[in-house]
Structure 1
């Protein structure tokens, strides 16, 4: 019997834990968190068992009280699953050959959950379809082995009860529901022959005439097959890697319908473009398709492949029915912004429109009232966490690495914090001085490259020009030089001070007059440059003065070196 309180398994870098489901959303009191990160977690179909592999062993506990059912020493196991009636645990680890090149150990193990004994060890090199498929009563199980489907009965894996041999069988799906069991098989086309999907009813598996339904089609590199819950019909999405017409980057997709009564059909979609998602309603009487170039279209179809309701277009690429089938969520995850549309699936009336940005995972709670969205690694390595929602859009619980407001801003410190390991702050370096000058006071040194000082560039505040910064550095250097002078130095001669402040003379009064005039013009140009740097708009005559700067500098140089 399934637990009355829904449980949520959380697998993260801090280990594996169980949460009691909404509305409480608290740690499961009977489950002790495993601190080791898990490679895989899984519930049984009825929710009564929970298993995980953590790189040391595989453990299975009861979901209700956390009591241990079985543990297996399987450090290399990366995948696990339960049979429908919880009689068998299946584990898989990557296949590897022996060092001498001989065949490696069997990497697919089937364990008896009650006794913990190994039932059978098999070889399963490919990850695709790694787990055997069972009928719901576990009377039949199926594996794909070298283009054949091997059928076992009553969990006896030492005897192959039946085989379905077809050339290049690529995929298969066993029907849900009770007996008689059906199986859908896919064979890709080759040498001009079409691909096809056939439905068989066990144990009648011989030849094409034994098939319940047969659908052939071209343009298929791979397919996805889905039975409805009653096991009466299959939807087949065929896909090509490349769209030869060049219309789509994602290749080309078509949707086919097969019924156990023999009816087949091509589902006529109302907009061209890729098929993003196809999902059956739990009532098995209708299915929903999200398709077409963005913004994508969403339509619900009947078992006759006739449209029942059109949801219009929007940023969507996924659809999710609630377990009871009364609510339908249309969502845009992945490279879309995470918008969700919650619809009443019976009245086709929109309920809410929440958003879950960066979500990479979505699933319904068994109660049909709550959903969980998560941002998982390695799909995204930022903003990892999960949220539990009510379908009306309310967030009931969320777990994030660092919620907003966890680290408030603190006052800025200008001194190094105490530390026993010292500091990495760079110490100021000094210019090299010859030994003969090291006893004299230091003088400001010239630099090969002039460094720009920090400036406040906020709007509305005056910025400092390069010439102003240069003058500022000169004043600071002069002030530093005066502070380094010995205090006992006698006062200078006033006449010497007055003479030092006079302009230098070249001996020719006429030349001195010209030099003074040129310097006056250059000073005016510097003032105009400062005004322009502060944002003032200059007149045409002022701009003409700026253009004469190089000419004046050259003239001044010639006057100063003139003999």
Structure 2
């Protein structure tokens, strides 16, 4: 069995790659970068290229051969991103102005990976949504500039091919998949007018009649927009910072469904409380929502926004479909104790209930068989490390950094959709040499002065 995936691990021990299942050894092809200043890492969409910044240079390597393809002299880069077909590497560093108050130098740069030349530099002050968004075939690229969306075609960044100008576009998302490219835009409400999300087909932006769909709503300080894989529908989580009723510390959320055929609806959630997570199934015809005051409910809905299956309530705040869409993990991370429920969503049967305590990160491997969970700094600064699981609940590999070290990031090498077809679901835990992860029992609180001392029974 050869190892198909690598996992980069970034932390105070430097940057290195670990071979995925079944070997879990450090990759000998990728030379460990042992500096402590590795701020940014990125894979290309197909997983063939890997870039990192070590505080001196931004390097790009071919993952298979480990050959250094490009090196850019950008010591301050903190964000990296590849265009979908590996044509361009985008880099971002913090924007700084000169002491005399004059405008700073452009801090977002687009580099041609074939020639190594810088194609274009932009001023991009905010780190939010810093990276331009490309259509999957790179025919269109878009970025938000002063509340307008600017579109470029065929990676020609000297000419703005189109502009989408509404009152104040604060966010936009391009649709995934093949042409035609669709774009969802969010305009926040002001002076009593509602917020709205509109869907357009590129490049038809002429007036409100040209929109494919429109949904307006009150109660939105920010929105999260999620396209399904087939780009036929969009889910919008609209949230307010403050819940006026005082019922929730998390503000108030509502879930809206908008389809490119013009249909729209509010998804009726049968339990009150926050919406913790919403995830589209890769089949594009179902989505799962995790919502309601704890213990939270989880429900799968169809495109009519009717419930298809209800998982009941439990300690959970996240939902993760496998890349093939055949398995769904419901999990409780953050302020919950890391319980996971692994469900076969073809038959709605529970497969396993592993526990990944103190996890700050969860990700499916593209093979749809393996999962990584990790405890990373700065979210948690103790017991940093990662575990690789089989979805049947077995821990196949576990690594914890030394007590005085930190781990900042670990993630799977991606690959293109369709490389791994779904396999038949197993219910029996796969064999492993490691014991299952048992949560530590909660002990009574002891003040620091009495820790590591024998327990004295108090006599009254």
Q: What is the CA-CA distance between 1:343 and the residue it aligns to?
A: 0.5
Task: Provide the C-alpha distance between the structure 1 equivalents of 2:399 and 2:297, rounded to a whole number of angstroms.
Answer: 33
Secondary structure of 2:15's counterpart equals strand
Task: Provide the C-alpha distance between the structure 2 equivalents of 1:301 and 1:323, rounded to a whole number of angstroms.
Answer: 18
Q: How does the TM-score come out when normalised to structure 2?
A: 0.87
Partner of 1:89: 89
Higher relative contact order (CA 8 A, sep 6+): 2
- The structure-2 alpha-carbon separation of the partners of 1:163 and 1:458, relative to structure 1 and needing over 3 Å to count, comes to closer
Partner of 1:183: 183
Partner of 2:34: 35
Q: 1:116-155, aligned counterparts within 5 Å? A: 116-155=116-155
User: Could you list the per-position Cα deviations for residues 79-118 of structure 1 after superposition, in whole angstroms to 9, with x for gaps in the alignment?
Assistant: 0000000000000001000122111110000001111110
- Residue 80 of structure 1 pairs with residue 114 of structure 2: no
Q: What is the CA-CA distance between 1:457 and the residue it aligns to?
A: 9.5
- The structure-2 alpha-carbon separation of the partners of 1:365 and 1:457, relative to structure 1 and needing over 3 Å to count, comes to closer
Task: Provide the C-alpha distance between the structure 1 equivalents of 2:329 and 2:177, rounded to a whole number of angstroms.
Answer: 25
Contact 1:48 1:62 in 2 (8 A): yes
Secondary structure of 1:338's counterpart equals coil
Secondary structure of 1:157's counterpart equals coil
Contact 1:162 1:203 in 2 (8 A): yes
Contact 2:3 2:22 in 1 (8 A): no
Richer in strand (by share): 2
Gaps of 5+ in 1: 404-455, 461-532, 536-563
- The structure-2 alpha-carbon separation of the partners of 1:337 and 1:72, relative to structure 1 and needing over 3 Å to count, comes to same
Alignment coverage as a number of residue pairs: 408
Task: Provide the C-alpha distance between the structure 2 equivalents of 1:106 and 1:94, rounded to a whole number of angstroms.
Answer: 10
Task: Provide the C-alpha distance between the structure 2 equivalents of 1:348 and 1:63, rounded to a whole number of angstroms.
Answer: 38
Contact 1:239 1:253 in 2 (8 A): yes
Contact 1:298 1:310 in 2 (8 A): yes
Q: What is the CA-CA distance between 1:399 and the residue it aligns to?
A: 1.0
Gaps of 5+ in 2: 404-453
Q: 1:203-222, aligned counterparts within 5 Å? A: 203-222=203-222
Q: 1:428-439, aligned counterparts within 5 Å? A: none
**C-alpha RMSD of the superposition:** 1.6
Q: What is the CA-CA distance between 1:74 and the residue it aligns to?
A: 0.4
Q: What is the CA-CA distance between 1:401 and the residue it aligns to?
A: 2.4
Q: 1:302-317, aligned counterparts within 5 Å? A: 302-317=302-317
Partner of 1:330: 330
Partner of 2:58: 58
Contact 2:363 2:372 in 1 (8 A): yes
Partner of 1:292: 292
Partner of 2:8: 9
Q: Which runs of 4+ in 1 moved over 3 A?
A: 456-460
- Residue 261 of structure 1 pairs with residue 270 of structure 2: no
Task: Provide the C-alpha distance between the structure 2 equivalents of 1:125 and 1:15, rounded to a whole number of angstroms.
Answer: 29
Partner of 1:360: 360
Partner of 1:24: 23
User: Could you list the per-position Cα deviations for residues 212-238 of structure 1 after superposition, in whole angstroms to 9, with x for gaps in the alignment?
Assistant: 000000000000000000111000000
Task: Provide the C-alpha distance between the structure 2 equivalents of 1:39 and 1:375, rounded to a whole number of angstroms.
Answer: 18
User: Could you list the per-position Cα deviations for residues 176-215 of structure 1 after superposition, in whole angstroms to 9, with x for gaps in the alignment?
Assistant: 0111100000000000100000000011011110000000
Secondary structure of 1:209's counterpart equals helix
Task: Provide the C-alpha distance between the structure 2 equivalents of 1:239 and 1:212, rounded to a whole number of angstroms.
Answer: 24
Task: Provide the C-alpha distance between the structure 2 equivalents of 1:314 and 1:7, rounded to a whole number of angstroms.
Answer: 33
Partner of 2:248: 248
Q: How does the TM-score come out when normalised to structure 1?
A: 0.71
Partner of 2:172: 172
Partner of 1:539: none
Contact 2:3 2:20 in 1 (8 A): no
User: Could you list the per-position Cα deviations for residues 482-534 of structure 1 after superposition, in whole angstroms to 9, with x for gaps in the alignment?
Assistant: xxxxxxxxxxxxxxxxxxxxxxxxxxxxxxxxxxxxxxxxxxxxxxxxxxx9x
Task: Provide the C-alpha distance between the structure 2 equivalents of 1:457 and 1:315, rounded to a whole number of angstroms.
Answer: 33
Q: What is the CA-CA distance between 1:4 and the residue it aligns to?
A: 7.2
Partner of 1:431: none
Contact 1:6 1:367 in 2 (8 A): no
Partner of 1:71: 71
Q: What is the CA-CA distance between 1:36 and the residue it aligns to?
A: 1.2
Richer in helix (by share): 1
- Residue 320 of structure 1 pairs with residue 316 of structure 2: no
